[in-house]
């Protein structure tokens, strides 16, 4: 969810602080995902990250996507609240 919602934020937000936060979220979560995948590949007892969003996160993405493109302030507020 964090990566997908942050990618959407980069598409929709015009606010520099929100965009920087989204970029950081993408970097951090891609790094964490890669580390987890490596641990699984190395025979760790962890399970691989889920490919599908949890229902709660899918609903949160629907909420973000439903914000009118013209209401950038509302998108930014919702995105930041969800993180």
Residue 79: pLDDT band (50, 70, 90) is very high
Model confidence at 35: pLDDT above 80: yes
Any residues with CB less than 8 A from the CB of 19 and at least 6 apart, and which?
9, 10, 13
Instruction: Record the tokens describing residue 39, joined without a space.
Output: 């641990």
pLDDT for the residue numbered 45: 64
- Output the average pLDDT for the chain: 90
Residue 52: pLDDT band (50, 70, 90) is confident
Count CA atoms closer than 13 A to 21's CA, side-chain side: 17
pLDDT for the residue numbered 36: 80
């Amino acid at each position: 969810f964090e990566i997908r919602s942050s990618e959407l934020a980069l598409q929709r937000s015009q606010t520099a602080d929100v965009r920087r936060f989204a970029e950081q979220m993408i970097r951090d979560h891609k790094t964490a995902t890669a580390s987890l995948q490596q641990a699984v590949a190395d025979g760790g007892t962890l399970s691989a990250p889920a490919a599908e969003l949890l229902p709660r996160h899918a609903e949160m993405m629907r909420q973000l996507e439903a914000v009118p493109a013209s209401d950038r302030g509302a998108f930014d507020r919702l995105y930041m609240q969800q993180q």
